[in-house]
Amino acid sequence: MTTQQDLFESVKEQTVLSQLSALSGWDALTGMPKDAGHFRADTDAYLAEKLFQVATGDKRRQILTDLTSDGQALNELGQLVLKKAREDFEITGKIPQTDFVAFEKTLSEAQDYWSRAREANNYNIFKPYVERIIGYLKQFIPLWQKEEATPYDVLLNQYEPGLTVKKLDDIFEQLKVGITALRSRLSVSGTVPENMFLYREVSKRQQSQYAMSAVQRLGYNLNKGRLDDTIHPFMEALNRDDARITTRWDEKNFQMAVLGIFHEAGHGVFEQNVDPKYDDARAVLPISMSIHESQSLFNEVIIGRSKEFWTSEYPKLQATFSPVLDDISVNKFYKGWLKTDATLIRTEADPLTYPLHIIIRYEIEKAIFNDHVDLADLPALWQAKYKKYLGLEVPDDLNGILQDIHWAGGSFGYFPSYALGHLYAAQFKATMAKTLDFEAIFKSGDYSPIFDWRQAHIWQHGGAVDPNEILENATGESLNPKYWLDFMTKLYEDAYQL
C-alpha cells in the first residue's frame, strides 16, 4: 500500500539530489579551475540522470497514481506535495531521458563556453551552444504545450504560472509609455545631479565591509550564507540554512557591488526564511521567479534607492569609506545615487531604465520562439533594440549579447520576471506603507518591522503559494503597474528637483 510517507521520501531524495546539483553549479561559477569544465559537465550529466530517474521513474509514477486515486491518505501538506509533484512530473516526465541528460550536459558545457566567449569578447565561441539550447527547447515545447497560445507562452509559464505574451505585451506597453514620458520630463525640465564622486576609488575590502553589514541589518543571516566573487552575480540556495550570494567588484564604481549585494541578499533572506515544513519538498516547490525577484529588488530598489534609508545609512557608508566621501553631503550623495543614464549593461542600469533592458530581452526571446528569427541575426537584433530603446550603440559582444549568463543556463522565459519583480516590489511597498512608517523604522536602526512583514506575507510560503495569490493576499489586488510608475516618478522628481 502506497502511503504519504512514500511520497515524502521520494520527493526528499529528489530535493537532496537538487542540492548536490546546485552545489556543483555554484562551484562551477565561483571556484572551479578553468580547465575542469568538461569533467564537471560529466558530473552534472550524471546528477541530471539520477534526478530524472527519481522524478519520473516507475516508483514515482506509481506513487502519484496510487495517491491520486486515494486522496484520503493525505493531510494538507501531503495534498500540496502531491499536486506539485504531479506538475513537476508533467514537465520533466514528458522529455525522453536521453534528451534530458544531453540537455543538462549541454547547459553545463555552455556556461564554460560563455565564460570563454566573454574573455575573448567573441560571441561566435558561445554561439553554437546558444543554438543547441534553443534547438532543445523547441523540441521540448510541443511536449509541454497544453492550452498556451504560443510557444513562448510555454516557457513563460514555467517561470511564472499563468503568464502570457498577451499579458506581458500590455504591461510592457504601459511601462514603455510611462518610462519614456518621465525620462523626457527629466531631460527637459530636471536639474541633472552630479555623481562623479561615485567613481572615486573605494577598495573591495571597504565595499564588502559596508555592504555586508548593511544587508545583515536588513536580515541576511551570515550563519546561513556567504559572499563569493563571480563574473555574473547570483544567489544559490541549497536549502534555507545555506543561501549563498555572489558579486563582482569595481574599485572605481562602488555603487555596482553595493547594490548588487543588496540584490542578491534579498534573494538570500527570502530563502533563509521559508517555512521549515517545506524543507524536504523544495525540489517540487520552486519559488516563482517574479516573487523571488520582487524581494531582491525590494532590497536593491525600494530600500536601496530610498531617501529615508540613506538618510540613516549614509553616515555608516561614509565612515566605512572615509576619507573618500568626507566632502559629500547626504543630500548630494542621494541625488547622485539616483542619477539616471542609459547604460549598455543591464545589471548596472538605474531603476528607471532597467525595465527597458528587460523589454529588449523579452522581445528578442519572443522573436526566437514565436517568429522564428534567424539565430545568426541575434547580435544585430540586440544592437538594433539597444539603439531603439536606449539610444546606445553596442560596441562589442562583451557589452552586448554576452553580458548575461541566463541563456547559457537555458533560462529562456526568465527575464520578464525581473520586470514583474519591480512591479510586485512597488505594490508590496505601497501596502506596507499603510501600516509601517519607513522613515521612523530606518531612523531607529531596527529594521525588523520590514523583515517581519515580508516574512509573514511572502517569505514563509516559499513556492507553496502561486505568485498572484501571494500578491492579492498581501495587497488586496492583482498586479497594477501604476504603483511602480508612481514610485519612480516620486523618486526622480525629488532627485531632479522637478
Report pLDDT digits (tens) over 213-262. Answer: 999 999 999 999 999 999 889 999 999 999 999 999 999 999 999 999 99
Q: Is the per-residue pLDDT at 494 higher than 90?
A: yes
Domain with 40, as residue range(s), is 4-144
In the chain, how many domains are there? 2
Q: Is the per-residue pLDDT at 122 higher than 80?
A: yes
Nearby residues of 439 by Cβ (< 8 Å), 6 or more positions away = 308, 311
Report pLDDT digits (tens) over 451-490. Answer: 999 999 999 999 999 999 999 999 999 999 999 999 999 9
Q: Both 128 and 225 in a single domain?
A: no
Q: Both 344 and 392 in a single domain?
A: yes
pLDDT score at 375: 94
Return mean pLDDT, the chain. Answer: 96
pLDDT score at 324: 98
pLDDT score at 70: 78
Q: Both 225 and 114 in a single domain?
A: no
Q: Both 138 and 12 in a single domain?
A: yes
Asked if the structure places residue 59 within a domain, the reply is yes
Q: Both 302 and 412 in a single domain?
A: yes
pLDDT score at 426: 98
Q: Both 117 and 179 in a single domain?
A: no
pLDDT score at 401: 98
Rg (Cα) of the chain, in Å, rounded? 23
pLDDT score at 287: 93
Q: Both 76 and 138 in a single domain?
A: yes
Q: Which residue among 13, 104, 160, 264 is the active-site one?
A: 264
Q: Both 118 and 183 in a single domain?
A: no
Instruction: Give the Cα separation of 247 and 68 in Å (integer).
Output: 44
Instruction: Give the Cα separation of 341 and 354 in Å (integer).
Output: 10
Q: Both 314 and 176 in a single domain?
A: yes
Report pLDDT digits (tens) over 270-322. Answer: 999 999 999 999 999 999 999 999 999 999 999 999 999 999 999 999 999 99
The pTM for the full model equals: 0.94
Handedness of CA 342, 367, 295, 11 (dihedral sign): negative
**CA dist 11 to 8, 23, 91, 360, 489, Å?**
5, 18, 15, 38, 46
Active site residue 264: yes
Q: How confident is the model at residue 15 (pLDDT cuts 50, 70, 90)?
A: very high
Asked if the structure places residue 352 within a domain, the reply is yes
Domain boundary, last residue among 94, 109, 144:
144
pLDDT score at 1: 84
Q: Both 122 and 256 in a single domain?
A: no
Asked if the structure places residue 149 within a domain, the reply is no
DSSP state of 163: -
Q: Is the per-residue pLDDT at 72 higher than 80?
A: no
- Rama region for 163: left / alpha / beta (φ>0; ψ in -120 to 50; rest): beta
Asked if the structure places residue 154 within a domain, the reply is no
Asked if the structure places residue 97 within a domain, the reply is yes
Asked if the structure places residue 432 within a domain, the reply is yes
Asked if the structure places residue 155 within a domain, the reply is no
Report pLDDT digits (tens) over 17-38. Answer: 999 999 999 999 998 998 998 9
Q: What is the CATH number of the domain that holds 421?
A: 1.10.1370.30
**CA dist 459 to 19, 288, 346, Å?**
20, 11, 26
Asked if the structure places residue 463 within a domain, the reply is yes
